[in-house]
Amino acid sequence: MRQLIPLLLCSLFGAGPALACQLALVLAVDVSGSVDNREYDIQMQGLAAALRDRAIVNALIEQEAAVTLIQWTGSSRQRQTIPWTSLLTPQDVAELADAVEENRRVWRNYSTAIGEALVLAEEALRAVPHCTRRVIDVSGDGVSNEGVHPRDRHAALAEMDVTVNGLAIETDEEDLTGWFFENLIRGEGAFVMTANGFEDYPAQIRRKLRREITRPLSNLRICDHAAFTCDHKYQKIKVFPTNRAK
């Protein structure tokens, strides 16, 4: 695994070729009070398994991606627990997957401050200005109930040309998918996917990473064969799992 700082120093001082990072990806994981330890483990193990998926590994390497992980919960309780990591080889991605799987939980029993998670993600993205595409991947099981509202961060995110995608973990009748669609996601090709409970999270985070890591193509109409909706890539869309209750 190669940390970005040494690579950046080499690039700045001419001791090697310049980085060609085409994707900076922030993985923002919910550790609020509604997530118990078993559900936290499901998220970490599911995310690690997705990062071992051959298609995802190849796409990350092809784009010389930089990836970081943020744990988020209530106001003032968000932390970048895995630093920016440059992914240039299969070994780099394998080591990142191991780090995710072993990432210890920082907080328990606090509120849900999604807007605050976006603030920390913005700060993190300023460290990788050389990456041509910037994406924040937010997963969570509840609406924001503390701190800045996610929509209030959209203007700043637009200035940075950041896309925010969401994975709504549905655990009740709240229609979190709809809330994410209306209040969280923004940017070119932004989308929401749905996990029907935490047990469905591993399958859906794999689908989600495959979708957002793949390089966008101009004037492409995006259709997911397992989705209920299909739309042009410049519009926000909802993508539901095949087993979503109608």
* pLDDT tens figures, 99-154: 999 999 987 767 889 999 999 999 999 999 999 999 999 999 999 888 899 999 99
pTM for this model (two decimals): 0.81
What mean pLDDT, rounded, does the chain reach?
84
User: Span 25-44, mean pLDDT?
Assistant: 93
Predicted pLDDT at 172? 86
- The pLDDT, as a whole number, for residue 236 is 52
Given a cut of 90, is residue 61 above it in pLDDT?
yes
Task: For residues 89 and 32, give the distance between their C-alpha atoms in angstroms, rounded to a whole number.
Answer: 33
- What is the spatial distance between Cα 25 and Cα 68, in angstroms, rounded to a whole number? 7
pLDDT at position 107 is 75
- Residue 128 has φ and ψ, to the nearest 5°, of -130, 55
Q: Is the pLDDT of residue 37 over 70?
A: yes
Report the share of the chain in percent with pLDDT over 90. 66
Pick from 1-5, 17-21, 140-144, 155-159: least confident: 1-5
Question: Locate tokens 């229609």: which residue?
Answer: 175
Pairing state between β 66-72 and 24-30:
parallel
Q: Which pLDDT value is given to residue 65?
A: 97
246 versus 173: the higher-pLDDT residue is 173
- In Å, how far are 117, 229, 231 from 69, measured between CA atoms? 11, 29, 29
What 3-state class would DSSP assign to 39?
A: helix
% of the chain beyond a pLDDT of 70: 79
CA 174 – CA 117 distance, rounded (Å): 21
Distinct helix (H) and strand (E) counts, the chain: 8, 10
Q: How many other CB atoms sit within 10 Å of the CB of residue 103?
A: 18
At 41, is the pLDDT very low, low, confident or very high (cuts 50, 70, 90)?
Answer: very high
Residues 6+ apart with CB under 8 A from 110: 32, 33, 73, 74, 77
Query: In the numeric block, which tokens belong to residue 28?
Result: 């923002």
Residue 4: predicted pLDDT: 52
pLDDT of res. 66 = 98
For β-strands 78-86 and 191-196, DSSP reports them as unpaired
CA-to-CA distance for 65 and 7, rounded, in angstroms?
13
pLDDT at 76 (0 to 100): 78
Q: Rounded to 5 degrees, what angle do the CA atoms 59, 189, 184 make?
A: 110
Angstrom distance (rounded) from CA 171 to CA 116: 22
Tens of pLDDT, residues 191-246 = 999 999 999 999 999 999 999 987 654 433 333 434 444 343 434 555 555 444 43
